[in-house]
Structure 1
Amino acid sequence: MNAINYDNISLLIIGYDPYKDVWDYYFELLNKYWPDRPQTFLASNILMPNYENVTVIPCGEDAEWSKKVYTAIDAIPTDYVVLLLEDFFTTRPVNGDNFEDLVRIIEKNNVDFCKLLNQTKIKGKSYDGKPYLHILDENSDYGISLQPAIWKKNFLKDLVGSDNYNAWIFELNQVRNKTHLQSDIVALGDDRNILEITHTVVQSKYLRKSIKVFEKQGYHIDTGTRPVMTFSENLKYDLKCRVSELSPKCLRPILKKIGKLMNVDFVSDRMEKSNK
């Protein structure tokens, strides 16, 4: 295969300054496992750390998730971006040829969005004869979401808008309100975990499973700086994910009430609080 061509796609990591300790591990692993990658950007609040092959874009002390995305997009020259969060670590070598092939399919077919990882199994009809590519069901929860994904830059910019708000509002409000009126969106999901990502931090704590991944690789995470979830906390999180995946929509309000009795944290509750 010819030399890998990343001329029309960039990586954009949306950061939160108090997670600087997480960034240090994130970019060390990204440089280790994907050194020959597209141009990489980090959107921060005011911090400007120096990471190898990373351009930092400070977006303002008051900038929430949406303002960081909107500001960074204007500074990125490519038509497509891989939108990532700082708590999804690259933990194995990335196959650049496979990634380039996927980008070619996306460009050729004018795809607006391609999910690269999902907490639950990606469902939907196969696309372009590829068994690993699926057409996302427009009625599925969090079909278009903030899981790691490739976005057409203009599509993302239109969805985000110029207001300053958090990521929860984007997933639970902004996406649903803007996409349900559009029938021409091409949204896909790739079930290969092509970027070799491990979800690492939830609710400001390391997931127990992610620490085990690092231990097997001989990679050390300082859990004195940021704690690991307790067994009980991790169990509640895993149960919430499984219930969300397997339960029919009609039962979810009841199951959510049960979860609250068990002190399970729900993103929708945090969004409601942020709006008050």
Structure 2
Amino acid sequence: MFGNDSDLVDSLLGRLSSTFKIRDLGKPTFFLGIETLSEGGSFLLSQRRYMADVLSRAGMTDCKPLATPAAITQPATPTLDPFDNPTQYRRIVGALQYLTITRPDLSFSVNRLCQFMHSPTQDHWGLLKRVLRYVKGTLDYGLRLSPSSSSAIHAFSYSDWAGCTIDRKSTSGYAVFLGSNLISWLSRKQRSVARSSTEAEYKGLADVAAEVTWVVSLLRELGLHTGQPATLWCDNLGATYLAANPVFHARTKHVEIDFHFVRDKVSSGEFVVNFVSTKDQLADIFTKPLPAPRFHTLRDKLNVDIIHPCA
């Protein structure tokens, strides 16, 4: 239970304890594998014990760390040899899915691994080992939550058009911020093939619009919504214009109807869709492998921070 009025929190706990059998465990420390570390007025959510356990289960406790979880190059001749222990592959990938609760920088790589659960190959096992080697080098990293002077909602949406070389489907990603804190993120392959980059980006906008709608509904229920429209940032001018006015209607009839609810949100004043340059697009980290300098820059902007020694 959190609040900025300690007397009110104590009063509420007292009233709850008079009706229910409860026990106040004090400040949050360790819950469901997630450590809550207090550092200078902010919280850092860490799963370092869980990460160490995953590495132990994979037999990679002493592996050599890497700077990124995914390589930007692909093998010229991928092998189709099946991995001899698919159960182990599924078990470790499932464990990594839980790790993305506090590690958004792993979302794209883990999502890609999940796409081959049914029949992993030796190449897929190699991709998994690379992710584990990155985890090994970032055991002390976690998600930082800090006091913010703003409570405005803004989100970044990006899609890598036809990025999958197997089925040419696009990968969408988004990052939703409440003030300066990252509160929601996603990396997911789109369900259908997009015939243009604008369509791929517009599908991504639809996904983040649905998520922001839910966040706004939750904040209103808690009485914490400011009433200001949420800002969605997209680096595709076509999708940005289409969200405000269907000026390219003749060329976008193939876009499914349910994606057009973004325009309804914009016209009602709930959302504002703005253009952002690709170099400032934070959701880029959720759609494809990136070079180490770019990856580290975006990771820092997502508030994935290192635990200081004093913690």
Q: Could you say whether these structures have the same fold, taking a TM-score greater than 0.5 normalized by the shorter chain as the test?
A: no
Structure exhibiting the larger radius of gyration computed from Cα positions: 2
What is the TM-score of this pair, normalised by structure 2? 0.27
What is the TM-score of this pair, normalised by structure 1? 0.30
